[in-house]
Amino acid sequence: MNSGQFRVLADEFIGEEQEIMNLKACDYTDNSDRLKNFKQVSEFLGQRPSEIALTYLMKHVQRNGEEV
């Protein structure tokens, strides 16, 4: 795969990721703060929002059969 082909493929993935992110945003917040879900859970558990984000990410990685 040459650089041009890679860039086209990468742009396709980025476009699809953006579309999913925009569609799913309303599932997690009222649009006043896109990170509201992470902040609320982090306060409840006494963790940083980034730790909550990593936990959510690992849930998806593990679900897809990946081992850490």
pTM: 0.60
Strands (E), 1-68: none
pLDDT tens per residue, range 17-54: 999 988 887 777 777 888 888 999 999 999 999 999 99
> What DSSP line would sit under 39-66, residue for residue?
HHHHHHHT--HHHHHHHHHHHHHHHTT-
